Copies of this chain bind each other. A is one copy, B any other.
Amino acid sequence: MAEAKAAENVVFVGTKPVMNYVLAAITQFNEGASAVTIKARGKAISRAVDVAEILRNRFMQNLSVQNISIGTEQVQGESGTANVSIIEITLGKP
């Protein structure tokens, strides 16, 4: 059960202010998550890194970066299929 719950602890970073996502991640940790994965694609990738850094430098200093992965997704756009980069950053308690 704990494993299954951990897999759902994801924060999708989009175009809102960075602090919205920081608060979303803090909420998940406060609800018992031992790890939270921050996901983003395209231009939001920089914001995802900001979220992870602000979270572990300012709010939850005990967090460590457990994994970072990058990849490519295909997105249907107006003029056909386009490739977009993605990132997943997993932060966890020790």
Measured CB to CB, the residues of A under 8 A from B are: 42-46, 49-50, 52-53, 57, 65, 68-72, 83, 85, 87, 89
Taking A68-B68, A70-B68, A72-B57 as contacts, is the C-beta distance between A50 and B89 under 8 angstroms? no
Bound CA–CA A44/B69 (angstroms): 17
Give chain B residues whose Cβ lies under 8 Å from the Cβ of A43.
43, 46
Do A68 and B69 have beta carbons less than 8 Å apart? Answer: yes
Do B70 and A53 have beta carbons less than 8 Å apart? Answer: yes
Give chain B residues whose Cβ lies under 8 Å from the Cβ of A42.
46
Taking A70-B65, A70-B68 as contacts, is the C-beta distance between A85 and B45 under 8 angstroms? no
From A58, which residue of chain B is reached at the shortest CB distance?
Answer: B83
